[in-house]
Structures are given as structure tokens and as C-alpha cells.
Structure 1
Amino acid sequence: MDYMIGVDLGTTSTKSVLFDLEGHVLASSSKGYPLYRDEPDMAEEDPNEIFEALIDSLTDVVRAGKLKAGDQIRGVSFSSAMHSLIAFDKNWKALTRVITWADGRAFKYSEELKANGVGQEIYSKTGTPIHPMAPLSKLLWLKNERPDIYGQAAHYLGIKEYIFHRLFGANKVDISIASGTGLFNIFQLKWDKQALELTGLSLDQLPTPVDPYEIERGMVQEYAKVIGLPADTPFIYGAGDGPLSNLGVNAIQPGVAAVTIGTSGAIRVVTDKPKIDPKGRTFTYALDRDHWVVGGPVNNGGDVFRWARDNLFDAEKSTAALLGIESYDLLTEIASKVPAGADGLLFHPYLSGERAPIWDANARGSFFGLTHYHTRAHMVRAVLEGIIFNIYMVALALEEVVGELKSVQATGGFAHSPLWRQMLADIFEQSVTVPQSIESGALAATVVGQKALGLTDKIENIADMVGDAKTYEPNPENYDVYRELTPIFIRLSRQLETEYANIANFQREHVHVKTTEQ
């Protein structure tokens, strides 16, 4: 038997999954690590902790697979969170931790780029909206506020490139990850001259762009021995987690949108060429040279639900633990007792600023419409609905760029919840399909790996692996409520823009919170 391993390098955990060549899961292992928030707007990880999580998870699945004589793991292929940045000196010593997509400290430089028009020029070539998430803005922040690090930095990598450098000594980046940096010209498929001039970088400070089908062999013997794989096992670069999420749920046909809500969230559609939004609201990232993912990411997904659980339902969290049930299931059961629209209570989920569609790092969360008759049950329902309302705002912008959305494929942690699935169908007024495979990112990575190794001729063959799906139809009884509330939700986010900046500046000056999120 032949097998593939798909690795998903995520924001708070790394998961390795062992598949057969038909896409069936044989074993999986997930290892978590902290997200450090030592100062306002910071969101960093320790690259060594991520590397150790990778080694541990690969070791686990190789052992759990219990391969017999003659069995072979044909390759290991990767999906990875995008927009991360690590600076290294000339000897490849890390000068920073991993500055993740969620880090907002570059907000000032993003706002300056948007105000002076340079940002739109760069966006029109790179497809990455101007926002603190992008390495483009992070580099400007380092240049201006960490000149000691910027002056020493001889190399810059993201987390996946760091992994490949540790394992193979490589200095490469796939075009999918590169297309999310704000430094990469998606029409020329090379580092953008204007972006490099703006940040002061030279080409030799950046990794060499390669296709997602690029293969590395000759792993460092020390790591190969620990993992239990031959050192010549092919490791395939794969792509970014967003593009691979579309592939993983078979949402690669025109008009088929993939909605993913994990820690963060996104909605994306695949096109055959890059498409730029004149208003700068959507991204365009490569899956490969022939498949481009257009969409919008949101900062605030499942992490907002976690905030509600930890801060509004601590007693219920403890009760769930004693009963041996999942605390999130208990909360969605509580929310299901409240009617659609939470009796007029709206929640803007901007606890971490926001990317699409408002691209405002200063945005902050809020309940609106709170009255004496609202309870905690209303609040948790409003939180869940607010996350979906926000995704729907992105969908409206996306339709202006790619045309009408025909159907929705849903994935991510939220897809386990029937209540959330139904909310998505009702607010979008679209059929929502949830594919059977819950390891969609890792599965998609293995399909890219199979194509790289010549085991399949096209990535579209993933349609045969995704498995059965469950479809949720919109409930007409909820249409009128959501149709009335959606415009209020949208108008509020625009009307509060000035006050978002004011309250965010107050918090940066007066609030000093240090947290470590697991």
C-alpha cells in the first residue's frame, strides 16, 4: 500500500494526517502551541515550538500508521497559515519570533499606505490588501520601529519556509504563500520591484519563488531518524491554507464559494486568473499557476466564540467538563433556544480588529441593541450570528468582483455545529453543503503532493475523495428577520469607523494586557 501525509501548519496547532491514495484517513496527530500577546496588537509564535510540534505530529502518525513491510509513504505535503514573517541574521539565527497574520502592530504604516495612494498601486499588482497582516506592512514596522532587527536581518521567511530550511537547508517559498505577502507580483510571478523599494529589501533577502509542486529530498538525518521516515522521502511545498481549503472541499468550480471558520475565517472562490477589486476589499492568492483564489479573510471566527465561552459562560464551561461533554455544544444548545435575530441584539465580532471587508485594524467588538429583556442566551446567539453576518458582508463584496455565488461549501471547526450551518444557510439564503472530510486542508495538500509525484494528473480529482456531504437548505421563516437586520449590521460598521480609531488609540495608551493563548 502507498500513503501520503498531509501537514496543516495552523495558527495555534500543527496537524499531520496519514491518508491512503484514495483520501481515507488512517491516522492523525495534532500538537498545539501558544500565541503570545505580550503587548497591544502583538500576535507572535515561537518558531522552535512550531517545529517541535511538526516533528512530534509526524512521528505520531508514522507510528500510528503501523505500516507493514512493502508499505510506503510516498511523500509529505504541506498546507500553511499565510502572512507570517521571521527575520534572520546572516548566520540564520532568528532575530524575531513568528510575527503572525493576527499581529496588528503595523497598523500605522498600513493606514499611511492607504492614505497616500501607494497602497492601492501595490495592491493592484500583488493582490494582497493593505493591512497589518501582510509582511509588506510588517517590514515597514520593523524598519521604522525595530531598526536594530531590521539592520541585522539578512533573510526573511514565513513559517513554512522556516520548516523547510530546518529540514533541508532550503531557501524557497511556493507562489501561493508568496502571493499573500504583499511583496509578490501575481501577474509576473516574481517579487515586485516597487514593494521591494518601499520596504528597502533586496532580492537576496527573500526566498526563491517555486511552484507548489516543488519537491525537496535529503532530510537532515537527525530529524528523519526521529520521525521514522527515510531521509529521501519527498517533501512537497504545497500551498497556503486558504487556497487549499477551497480545494479540500471541492470548491474549485466557478461560483462555488468555500466558507471556512476556524480560529479566523474566510470566504473564497476559485478563478482561472487573478482578479483585482478596484475598491481593494478582496485578496487574490495563487493555488497554482492555473487556479487563483479570490476572497476575503476575517480575523474573528471561532476565537470570538471561545471568548464568549470563557468570559460569559464560565459556569457552563465547568459544568460541561464535569459532564464530559463539549462546552461549545452546550453553548450552541443554549443559543438555539433564542429566535433568529436574537430579539434585535447585534454583535460586531471585531475583537482582533478586522480584515475583510472593512480592513480596519482599529475595529473593536460591540453589542448593539442591548435591553433589559436580553439574556446571556441572547448574547451568545448574537455572537454566533455576528460572525456569520460579517462573513456575509465579505460575500457581498466578493460578488462584485467574481459574479453571483451559486452555492456554498462549508468547512472548519464551525461546520461541526448544525446551528451554525443553518445560520449560514439562512443569512446567505443559499444551500450550504458540508463535505464529509473534516481534514480538508491536509487532504488538499496530499492531492497537490500526488500531482507533484505523478500519482494523479490533475488536482480536480479530489472530487472523488471528498466523500458524502450533508446539505442545509435556508429556512424561509428566518428570511425577513435577517434581511432586516443585515443592513443595520453593515451600516453600523461604517458609522463607527472614526470611533473605532479613537477607542483603539485609547486602549493602546492605557491598557496593558499580556496574554498567552493556547
Structure 2
Amino acid sequence: MKYVIGVDLGTSAVKVLLMNQQGQVCGEVSKSYPLIQEKSGYTEQNPEEWVEKTVEALQELTSHFTGSPSEIEGISFSGQMHGLVLLDNHDKVLRNAILWNDTRTTKQCQDIYELVGEERLLSITKNPALEGFTLPKILWVKENEPSIYEQAKMFLLPKDYLRYRLTGQIHSDYSDAAGTLLLNVAEKEWSTEVCQAVGVDIHLCPPLLESHGFVGTITAEISKATGLPEATKVFAGGADNACGAIGSGILAEGKTLCSIGTSGVVLSYEESNSRDFKGKVHYFNHGKEDAFYTMGVTLAAGYSLSWFKDTFAEKENFSEMLQGLADIPIGANGLLFTPYIVGERTPHADALIRGSFIGMDASHKRIDFARAVIEGITFSLNESIEIFRESGKMIDTIISIGGGAKNEAWLQIQADIFNAKIQKLSSEQGPGIGAAMLAAYGCGWYSSLNECSDVFTQVVKTYEPIEENVQKYKELFQLYKMVYSQTKELNSQLNRFRK
């Protein structure tokens, strides 16, 4: 039997999956690492933590593997998007990585619009200038840490740095590069025009290749540390959302994905780059060659629930905290939550907005608040679905993965709020499976990713929307959408009181 490994470098942990040729998960290891949040709006990580924890995870995976290590043929990666890793002339990290959910770069986003032009930026990069993207972070370092910027030889995205440390080879792929605001998405090349306009040397940008592209093999040092053979083939991999799409079978028109991890996304496959959403949703290169996807983002989806657990149920696991969730009526007994606890992305690109509980009274119990958090996260994702539907896209079936696919009650809530069939897969580890599929395809096991998907993805249960619930949620959704406009100015004024 042959095997491949998918490495999913997330925001809170790295997850490593071992999969065989039959598409079965044969081993799984997760290792967590901390966020560094020195100020409100600042979110960083030490890239060395990614390497250390990934090596630990791979070593643990191989130590429990009962077959021969030589049967593990390939490895590929999924990674958190947009993060900035700066390397010096010796390929050493110059500072902590600035992550996708860091919101310090509002000024730099405005600078980009002034230098490039909002319409021109959209025509080249297919995306608006938002705080989470990589280019604003580069400009922030240039402006605020000039000595570090002057030493920078190249920038890398998180999973690209990890792959470099495992192989000694520096590259990026198109799906991850599409989230930098430096890629010409249609032409699949770094944009000289954008680089020149903002004063960034294009040589800071790494070489590009396809997500299934062969990079090399692991180094002798990594082989010794992990137990993997030096002959293990390494493939580029892709952005976490692109890999989530691959691992969920979102490989043809009409396919839609809801992925609830730290952030939450609603993602839809696009055959071409010709659709125009006028920047309301993201438009990225897919991990599948010459394909694209559109995507709406809730910045704090699973993170809102994790925050709630850590704050109000620290000693309980998620199952314990959510016990009785299905018994709480729709609307959480008159309680609404907006998941803007780190700002928001879609449809409100707003770094200052913050979350709210609306309608609290003395009768509410903790489980009411938990239900409100889950409903609020799902309402936020529904705003992206609303944008897709208003553009003419048909969305009647959605594959759900991530933390939101682990709870039966939440899956039914998704079906009712989205007013669509929700399909649960045999594994909700979409990005990790997508990374493994890229390795399997790269190793030549299959003639296409679509053929690979037929083996690696399997629907195990479908949740149908309940009409009575759909109507109640439509009413609540209108109230939910009012909260943003009615709290926007309050949150702007409160910002000066935050650390």
C-alpha cells in the first residue's frame, strides 16, 4: 500500500494526516502553538513554532505507522493565508509572522488605493485592499520597521516557509499568492504594475508554481528528525481554503463549501475569472490548475465559539459546553450575537467593528448564549451566501466541513439558516485532505484531481432545511443585519479605549 501526508498549517495548530490510496485516513496528529497579541488588532506567530510542531507531529505520525516508511511517497501542504514571513539574505526570519487576522494596516490599505487606484487594483488582483492581506503588512513593516524592511530579501506565506524548512527550496503557489494583493490573478504572475505603484521590489516575491507542482525531497536533517525517508517527494500545496475546496470535492461548477475553522468561509467554484462581484467577495486562483473560486469570509467564526468556551467554560470540552444546544429554541430565547470580535471581512470590511450580544435578560442561561453564538456565526456566513444568490448563482446544496460539521445540531442550523441541503463528509478535515490529494495527484496516483476526489471524498449524511425553521430564521436574519449599522459608530468611539 502507498501513502501520502497532508499537512494543514492552521492558525492555532498544525494537523498532519496520513492517507492511503483508498482515500482512508490512516493516522492523524495535531500540535498547537500560541498566538502573540501584544496590542488590540495585532496578531503574530513565531514561524519557528510551525516548524518545531510540524516536525513533532510528523515524528509522532511515523512512530505509530505500522508499515514501512518507504511506502510514504509524498507530502503536501495547506496553509493559513495572507501571513507575512520576511527573510534576510541568509534566508533567516527577520521578525514574527504577521497573520491574516491582524488588523493594524488600515492606513496602508488606504495608501494602496491612492497609489494603485481602487478600480485598477480590483481589475488586477480581483480583491479589495483589506487589512488581512499580505501587501498592506509589507507596507506596514516598510513604514514602521524600516531597518527590518531594508534587510528583507524575500517574503513567504506561512506554509511556504514551512515547506522551505523541510526542503531547502523557496516557492509559492498561485492559490496562496492570490491572497497577497500582489498577484495578477488572471495572468498568474506577480504584478509589476502593483509593485511599482506601491514601491515594493518585485524581487521580494518568491517563484511561483502550481499547487501540485513538485518542489523536491525532504532534507537529510528533516528525514532524521521525522523518520520519513529522504526520498519523500514534496509538492507545493495551496492556501487553506483552496485545499479545503479540493478536499471537499469543490472541483466543478455548482459546487459550494461552508468551512468553519478559526475563520469561516463560504466558497464557490468558478470555471473562469470573468465574473464580477465588484470586490464584495474574494476571487482567488484555485488549487486546481486554471480554475478559480469566489469566497466570503467571517473573520471570527470558530474563533468566536473558542473565545466563548475559553471565557465561560474553560474547563469543559466543546461537547460538554454545547450539551442541550438542540433543546434551545430558534433565536436563543431572544438573544442575538454578532461575531465581530476581531473585526469583520464579508460583507463589512471593517477593522473597528466589534461583537455584540443583543437582547440579554436575567432569564438567559449559558447554553442560550452558546446557541446565540452559533446562530450569529451562521448568520454572518449567510451574508456571503446572500451575495452569491443575488449574483445569480444557484446554491441549493452545500458541503460543510471544519468545526461546524462536528455538531449535529449546528449542521441542522446551517441547513435552516442557509435554506439549503447540508452535506457532511466522512471526514471534516477538508484542508488536510486537500493537501494529501495534491500529493497523491503529484505522485501520479490519479490522472486528475477530480478522479482523486471520487476516491478521497464521501458524503455520509445530508441535512434538509425544515421549512418552519427557515421562515423563523429569515425573520431573525433581518434583525441580525440591523446590528452592524446600529453599532458601527459606537464601536468606532470605543476604539480609543482599547489597549
Q: Structure 1 length as normaliser, TM-score?
A: 0.91
Residue pairs, 1:40-439, within 5 angstroms: 40-68=40-68, 72-113=71-112, 118-275=117-274, 277-286=276-285, 287-312=287-312, 314=313, 317-318=314-315, 320=316, 327-401=317-391, 403-439=393-429
Q: Give the total of aligned pairs.
A: 497
> Match of 1:36?
36
| Partners of 1:170 and 1:381 in 2: CA distance | 46
- Which amino acid counterpart does residue 10 of structure 2 have in structure 1? G
1:220-248 CA distance string (max 9 Å, x none) = 21111121222232101111110111221
Q: Tell me whether 1:463 sits opposite 2:462 in the alignment.
A: no
Contact 1:276-1:284 within 8 A present in 2 as well: no
| Partners of 2:28 and 2:311 in 1: CA distance | 31
1:6-25 CA distance string (max 9 Å, x none) = 11111111111111111111
| Partners of 2:361 and 2:278 in 1: CA distance | 37
Contact 1:83-1:177 within 8 A present in 2 as well: yes
Contact 1:212-1:236 within 8 A present in 2 as well: yes
| Partners of 2:456 and 2:102 in 1: CA distance | 36
Shift of 1:440: 2.3
Shift of 1:372: 4.1
| Partners of 1:114 and 1:365 in 2: CA distance | 28
- Which amino acid counterpart does residue 475 of structure 1 have in structure 2? I
- Which amino acid counterpart does residue 104 of structure 1 have in structure 2? T
- Which amino acid counterpart does residue 205 of structure 1 have in structure 2? L
Name the stretch that deviates more: 105-114 or 130-139: 105-114
Shift of 1:275: 4.7
1:167-205 CA distance string (max 9 Å, x none) = 232221111111111110011111112321243222221
Shift of 1:401: 4.2
> Match of 2:463?
472
Contact 2:116-2:197 within 8 A present in 1 as well: no
| Partners of 1:297 and 1:442 in 2: CA distance | 19
| RMSD of aligned alpha carbons | 2.0
| Partners of 2:152 and 2:487 in 1: CA distance | 39
Contact 2:182-2:191 within 8 A present in 1 as well: yes
Contact 2:183-2:191 within 8 A present in 1 as well: yes
- Which amino acid counterpart does residue 246 of structure 2 have in structure 1? L
Contact 1:139-1:199 within 8 A present in 2 as well: no
- Which amino acid counterpart does residue 21 of structure 2 have in structure 1? L
Contact 2:81-2:239 within 8 A present in 1 as well: yes
| Partners of 2:422 and 2:110 in 1: CA distance | 36
Q: Which runs of 5+ in 1 are unaligned?
A: 321-326, 512-518
| Partners of 1:468 and 1:281 in 2: CA distance | 30
> Match of 1:484?
475
- Which amino acid counterpart does residue 76 of structure 2 have in structure 1? S
- Which amino acid counterpart does residue 187 of structure 1 have in structure 2? A
Name the stretch that deviates more: 274-283 or 378-387: 274-283
Name the stretch that deviates more: 257-266 or 391-400: 391-400
- Which amino acid counterpart does residue 8 of structure 2 have in structure 1? D
Task: Give the match's secondary structure for 1:456.
Answer: coil
Shift of 1:115: 7.6
| Partners of 2:281 and 2:210 in 1: CA distance | 23
Task: Give the match's secondary structure for 1:469.
Answer: strand
| Partners of 1:108 and 1:499 in 2: CA distance | 21
Task: Give the match's secondary structure for 2:333.
Answer: helix
Q: Which runs of 5+ in 2 are unaligned?
A: none
Contact 2:113-2:121 within 8 A present in 1 as well: no
Contact 1:332-1:419 within 8 A present in 2 as well: no
| Partners of 1:120 and 1:368 in 2: CA distance | 37
- Which amino acid counterpart does residue 34 of structure 1 have in structure 2? P
290 and 495 in structure 1: CA distance in 2 versus 1, 3 angstrom threshold: same
Shift of 1:290: 2.5
| Partners of 1:145 and 1:385 in 2: CA distance | 39
Contact 1:364-1:504 within 8 A present in 2 as well: no
290 and 402 in structure 1: CA distance in 2 versus 1, 3 angstrom threshold: farther
- Percent of aligned pairs sharing the same letter: 29
Shift of 1:104: 1.0
Contact 2:174-2:209 within 8 A present in 1 as well: yes
1:130-171 CA distance string (max 9 Å, x none) = 211100111121122222222221211111221232223222
Name the stretch that deviates more: 59-68 or 491-500: 491-500
Shift of 1:471: 0.7
- Which amino acid counterpart does residue 426 of structure 1 have in structure 2? D
Q: Structure 2 length as normaliser, TM-score?
A: 0.95
- Which amino acid counterpart does residue 465 of structure 2 have in structure 1? P
| Partners of 1:139 and 1:68 in 2: CA distance | 44
- Which amino acid counterpart does residue 488 of structure 1 have in structure 2? L
80 and 273 in structure 1: CA distance in 2 versus 1, 3 angstrom threshold: same
Contact 1:128-1:134 within 8 A present in 2 as well: no
Name the stretch that deviates more: 88-97 or 404-413: 88-97
Shift of 1:362: 1.0
Contact 2:33-2:49 within 8 A present in 1 as well: yes
